[in-house]
């Protein structure tokens, strides 16, 4: 029992001290009254006061106490204590009337009087109260036996009393003297009521209810003491010489005080049965199933050798509790009373005395009642015997027909009974198991745990733990071990075991556990199990080992495998990759599949404190894994190649499992961004970069609504004449903080918002990045609408120059945008045919070309020209040129930047321009920043150019000035652009770098 439980169930020390003090006070007061009565209280007047008003005060105290207690208890016992209060009140009233005559009036108490009426009311209410407290019989036979037992006791007492005293009172009543009949009747009423009360006390003492037995026992003792005093008072020797204040009053006084003390003198809670005293058993933590492997070999041998002795070591120390003798007294009491009655009659006959007819009549009724009671008991015993036989047959059928094995083990550990179900469950006949030691059937690795549990169960109080469950392995008849679950009960110092075979359930649980923790395709640990093992590595005994590392692995090019040769082939590739990964890690490490084509590995550290050496070792392991995973895979009869990008993160001091896995994930995405098929170690700046991009993405989401975007246009110039033939719309973002972002910067942020960059952590996406594709779509719609609005204004002003807007294939086919959005904008702004050029950016190869072709064809019917942006790079450029209705080829700026320096690039660019000329298409070179590039492109046959060699992006005012001028000088040699950055003043200058660094004039 735990310490709090002991404190709750054990009576506090303070309460025990108060109870003892009350008992001592009660004894002192009663003894003082008895001493005072024995010495006569010093005077006759004092004796009469103490004998009358003292008894009245004691009775009144008992009445108040019982009444107050009745208000605090349940309805079941409340009437009994109210009746006890009424009995005490009647006794107090009787003594008060007696004192009024003797002390106040100085007269002899008349007989009969009001005092006699009050005294006579004492016994009936007390008898009814005892009946209320008694345990009620459950059937008619029980009620009949209760009545017969009461008459056996009452008749026996009446026989004795009549022989000793009552016969004399009856003869006095027959004498006919004046006033003798009422007095004789009154003298007979007292002993008869006392006899009835004594009968109820004796009969009901052993039938009392279990509720608050201490209070009931004390009340019965108080009534018994009162009845004894009444019996002494009615005896002829004492009644003739009785005076108030004599020693006999001490009995009534003590009975009243004892009844007043009864409700409060004992604790109301039932004491909790204490565990048998024995040698304490240490309660070690229960090992897990199969935990015997962690014990020493010597301990296992000791448990196997002395299994039975250990199993029941505590049972031998438990002494069987003998049945108390009080359990037999209820059945013996009526017979003892009848025997006393019979002996009294026989004594009178032997002595030659005349037997009174009243005695004969009463004795005959007692004998008749005894015979009837015996007959009832005989019939009851016959019925009980038949019922017991039926129940025994019933339970025998249940035990023998049960599918569970029921075994009874003696205190020595030997099996005394085994049900027939053992043949079907254990594969052994029940007769073969009877007589064997229980420990010989239990697996040696489970025996220690079973011994510990059995000893703990036997040491526990039966009321607190009536049963327990034990699961272990039992040896079957075939020699294999079965998983058995047993419900264990105590039985005469031994055990009753109700056992069942749960082997299939255990296997199913293990299978479900394995399925919940492993990937169904590759059978590698999944993310949940991998995360738990990382947590164990960081918090277990290796918590201080900072050389532990986590590897995140992504297969580059796996999506192309699914798209080209099918998902079945992709699954085969994943299975083979998982096998290679599992074979490549060490025995103590963990390889897992996190989902899709992402894998992970936990490399347990070796305790090395040399960080550089550990990094080199783990990097070597990761590079070996990369090489292994990048080897060709034989799928469907052909070789398939994928690469592996691996991110590595080390367990720095104080890092959490989620942070460690997030760091490895970030390093893996850095490896993919750095060119793929490489290993990248995590560095703190990676997380800082993710945070910066997330903050930038958050500001981008509100930039459109805050009006922070401005539209600029860059002229597209004919290389032959210098005439401006179109303008390319470009967006610029001037944030509220005054930072001007170039297209490459905020487009990267837009892609980041779409989820193209944000790597997922171990529990989902990195918290600093939230994918938001709707913002990028909103930016694209704003750019298209704003460019067409300004182009329509220029057209109405006389500048009939087409505007080129860059759009992706996904945006053109986006179902969330109304299908006629471009058409509706053309109609709304009145843009003429040929006034809009859509620059189709290189698209994902998974975009359906058929649907894209239909969409572009429909736009061309409205006069929209189609330009293929970024031609010369990308996955689907040639396929797009072959199938899509394209009017203009826009060379990728990567071809333009090195066209002068690289002869190889020069030939590639010339070939692409030749294709455009052969197809009758116009060509636009993007990023023409130098006069040398302009001259080389014009010589190759390029028709148009766009770049800093002519002008940077212009706001609407400067664009209209350029359109009024109409042309840009196109010299044969070096030339200065008409509106280059230098002409705008300020820090803007011509850069040789990427278009991303184009200086932007203020809007």
pLDDT digits over 187-211, tens only?
A: 555 565 565 556 556 555 545 555 5
CA 23, chain centre distance (Å)? 51
Beta strands of 34-91 (E only): which ranges?
none
> Which of 677, 644, 650 lies closest to 553, judged by CA?
644
DSSP string, 464-525: T-SEEEEEEEEE-TTS-EEEEEEEEEEETTEEEEEEEE-HHHHHHHHHHHHHHHB-TTT--B
Round to whole Å and give the CA distance between 914 and 918: 6
> Which of 454, 445, 65, 40 lies closest to 256, judged by CA?
65
Average pLDDT for 454-478? 87
Average pLDDT for 241-264? 81
Q: Are strands 481-491 and 494-501 parallel, antiparallel or unpaired?
A: antiparallel
108-133 burial, b at 16+ Cβ within 10 Å, e below that, comes to: ebeeebbbbebbbbbbbbbbbbbbbb
Which secondary-structure segment (H or E) carries 599? strand 598-603
Report the pLDDT value the prediction gives residue 998, as an integer from 0 to 100.
34
Report the pLDDT value the prediction gives residue 954, as an integer from 0 to 100.
92
Round to whole Å and give the CA distance between 341 and 162: 11
Whether 403 contacts 421, CB under 8 Å: yes
Report the pLDDT value the prediction gives residue 763, as an integer from 0 to 100.
35
Residues 896, 900, 906, 909: what is their CA dihedral angle, to the nearest 10 degrees?
A: 20
pLDDT in tens, 487-524: 888 887 788 888 888 888 888 888 888 888 999 999 99
Q: What distances in angstroms separate CA 946 from CA 91, 488, 699, 959, one per listed residue?
A: 125, 90, 31, 14
Place of tokens 């060509």: 923
pLDDT in tens, 330-350: 556 566 666 666 766 676 667
Q: Residue 379: CB partners within 8 Å, gap ≥ 6? A: 141
Whether 935 contacts 973, CB under 8 Å: yes
Integer Rg of the chain from CA: 54
Residues 135, 136, 140, 142: what is their CA dihedral angle, to the nearest 10 degrees?
A: 10
Reply yes or no on whether the pLDDT at 301 is more than 50. Answer: no
Reply yes or no on whether the pLDDT at 1000 is more than 50. Answer: no
Round to whole Å and give the CA distance between 99 and 51: 8
Q: Are strands 405-409 and 494-501 parallel, antiparallel or unpaired?
A: antiparallel
Reply yes or no on whether the pLDDT at 816 is more than 50. Answer: yes
pLDDT in tens, 572-630: 999 999 999 999 988 889 999 999 899 999 998 776 667 788 888 888 999 999 999 99
Q: Which position has the higher pLDDT, 404 or 925? A: 925
Which secondary-structure segment (H or E) carries 471? strand 467-475
Q: How many CB atoms lie within 10 A of CB 536?
A: 15
Quote the longest CA-to-CA distance of the chain.
Answer: 170
Round to whole Å and give the CA distance between 684 and 650: 12
Report the pLDDT value the prediction gives residue 642, as an integer from 0 to 100.
92
Q: What sign has the CA pseudo-torsion 153, 157, 159, 162?
A: negative
Whether 451 contacts 458, CB under 8 Å: no
Reply yes or no on whether the pLDDT at 434 is more than 70. Answer: yes
Round to whole Å and give the CA distance between 883 and 864: 17
Q: What distances in angstroms separate CA 992 from CA 101, 576, 862, one per listed residue?
A: 136, 48, 39
Regarding pTM above 0.85, the answer is no
**Angle at which helices 248-261 and 78-99 pack, to 10 degrees?**
150
- Give the CA count within 13 Å in the CB-facing half-sphere of 372: 16
Average pLDDT for 656-664? 91
Q: How many CB atoms lie within 10 A of CB 393?
A: 10
Average pLDDT for 452-465? 87
> Which of 360, 358, 366 lies closest to 167, judged by CA?
358
């Amino acid at each position: 029992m735990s310490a709090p439980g002991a404190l709750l169930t054990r009576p506090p020390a303070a309460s025990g001290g108060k109870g003892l003090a009350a008992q001592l006070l009660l004894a002192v007061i009663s003894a003082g009254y008895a001493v005072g009565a024995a010495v006569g209280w010093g005077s006759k007047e004092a004796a009469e006061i103490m004998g009358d008003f003292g008894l009245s005060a004691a009775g009144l105290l008992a009445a108040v106490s019982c009444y107050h207690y009745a208000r605090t208890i349940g309805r079941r016992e409340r009437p009994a204590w109210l009746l006890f209060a009424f009995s005490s009140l009647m006794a107090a009233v009787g003594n008060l009337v007696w004192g009024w005559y003797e002390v106040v009036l100085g007269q002899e108490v008349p007989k009969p009087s009001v005092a006699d009426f009050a005294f006579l009311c004492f016994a009936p209410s007390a008898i009814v109260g005892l009946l209320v407290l008694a345990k009620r019989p459950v059937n008619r036979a029980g009620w009949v036996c209760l009545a017969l037992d009461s008459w056996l006791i009452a008749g026996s007492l009446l026989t004795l009393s009549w022989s000793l005293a009552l016969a004399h009172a009856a003869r006095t009543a027959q004498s006919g003297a004046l006033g003798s009949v009422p007095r004789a009747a009154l003298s007979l009423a007292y002993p008869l009521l006392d006899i009835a009360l004594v009968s109820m006390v004796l009969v009901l003492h052993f039938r009392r209810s279990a509720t608050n037995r201490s209070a009931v026992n004390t009340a019965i003792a108080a009534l018994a003491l009162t009845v004894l005093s009444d019996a002494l008072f009615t005896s002829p020797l004492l009644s003739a010489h009785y005076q108030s204040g004599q020693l006999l009053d001490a009995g009534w006084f003590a009975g009243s005080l004892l009844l007043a003390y009864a409700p409060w003198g004992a604790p109301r809670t039932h004491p909790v049965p204490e565990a048998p005293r024995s040698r304490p058993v240490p309660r070690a933590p229960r090992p897990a199933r199969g935990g015997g492997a962690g014990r020493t070999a010597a301990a296992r041998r000791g448990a196997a050798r002395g299994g039975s002795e250990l199993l029941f070591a505590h049972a031998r120390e438990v002494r069987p509790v003998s049945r108390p003798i009080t359990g037999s007294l209820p059945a013996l009491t009526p017979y003892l009373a009848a025997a006393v009655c019979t002996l009294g009659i026989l004594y009178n006959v032997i002595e030659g005395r005349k037997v009174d007819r009243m005695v004969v009549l009463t004795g005959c009724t007692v004998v008749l009642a005894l015979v009837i009671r015996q007959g009832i008991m005989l019939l009851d015993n016959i019925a009980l015997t038949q019922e017991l036989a039926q129940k025994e047959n019933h339970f025998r059928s249940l035990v023998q027909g049960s599918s569970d094995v029921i075994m009874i083990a003696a205190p020595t550990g030997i099996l005394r009974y085994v049900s027939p179900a053992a043949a079907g469950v254990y594969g052994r006949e029940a007769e073969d198991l009877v007589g064997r030691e229980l420990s010989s059937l239990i697996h040696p690795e489970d025996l220690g745990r079973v011994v510990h549990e059995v000893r703990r169960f036997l040491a526990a109080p039966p009321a607190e733990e009536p049963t327990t469950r034990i699961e272990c392995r039992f040896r079957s008849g075939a020699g294999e071990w079965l998983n058995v679950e047993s419900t264990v009960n105590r039985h005469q110092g031994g055990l009753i075991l109700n056992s069942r075979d749960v082997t299939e359930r255990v296997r199913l649980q293990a299978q479900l556990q394995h399925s919940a923790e492993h990937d169904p395709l590759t059978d590698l640990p999944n993310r949940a199990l991998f995360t738990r093992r990382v947590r164990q590595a960081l918090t277990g005994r290796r918590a201080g080992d900072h050389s532990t590392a986590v590897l995140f692995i992504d297969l580059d090019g796996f999506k192309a495998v699914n798209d080209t040769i099918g998902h079945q082939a992709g699954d085969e590739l994943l299975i083979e990759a998982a096998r290679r990964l599992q074979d490549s890690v060490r025995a103590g490490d963990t390889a897992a599949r996190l989902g899709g084509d992402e894998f992970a590995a936990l490399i347990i550290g070796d305790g090395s404190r040399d960080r550089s050496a550990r990094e080199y070792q783990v990097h070597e392991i990761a590079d070996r894994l990369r090489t292994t995973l990048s080897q060709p895979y034989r799928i469907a009869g052909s070789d398939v190649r994928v690469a592996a990008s691996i991110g590595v993160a080390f367990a720095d001091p104080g890092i959490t499992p989620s942070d460690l896995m997030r760091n490895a994930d970030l390093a893996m995405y850095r490896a993919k961004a750095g060119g793929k098929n490489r290993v990248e170690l995590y560095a703190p700046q990676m997380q800082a970069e993710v945070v910066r991009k997330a903050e930038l993405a958050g500001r981008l989401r509100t930039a459109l609504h805050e009006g922070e975007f401005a539209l600029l246009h860059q002229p597209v110039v004919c290389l032959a004449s210098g005439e401006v033939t179109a303008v390319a719309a470009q967006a610029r973002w001037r944030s509220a903080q005054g930072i001007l972002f170039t297209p490459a910067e905020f487009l990267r942020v837009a892609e980041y918002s779409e989820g193209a960059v944000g790597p997922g952590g171990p529990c989902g996406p990195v918290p600093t990045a939230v994918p938001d594709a709707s913002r990028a779509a909103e930016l694209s719609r704003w750019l298209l609408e704003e460019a067409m609005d300004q182009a329509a204004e220029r057209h109405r002003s006389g500048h009939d120059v087409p505007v080129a807007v860059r759009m992706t294939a996904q945006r053109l086919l986006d179902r969330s945008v109304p299908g006629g959005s471009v058409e509706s904008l053309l109609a709304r702004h009145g843009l003429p045919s040929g006034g809009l050029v859509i620059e189709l950016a290189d698209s994902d190869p998974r975009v359906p070309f058929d649907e894209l072709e239909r969409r572009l064809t429909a736009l061309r019917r409205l006069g929209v020209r189609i330009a293929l942006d970024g031609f010369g790079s990308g996955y689907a450029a040639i396929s797009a040129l072959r199938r899509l209705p394209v009017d203009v080829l826009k060379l990728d700026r990567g071809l333009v930047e090195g066209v002068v320096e690289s002869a190889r690039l020069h030939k590639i660019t010339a070939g692409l321009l030749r294709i455009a000329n052969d197809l009758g298409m116009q060509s636009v070179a993007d990023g023409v920043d130098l006069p040398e590039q302009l001259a080389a492109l014009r010589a190759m046959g390029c028709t148009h150019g766009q770049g800093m060699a002519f002008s940077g992006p212009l706001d609407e005012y400067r664009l209209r000035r350029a359109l009024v001028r109409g042309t840009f000088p196109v010299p044969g040699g070096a030339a200065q652009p008409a509106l280059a950055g230098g002409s705008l003043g300020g820090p803007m200058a011509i850069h040789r770098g990427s278009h991303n660094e184009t200086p932007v004039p203020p809007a």
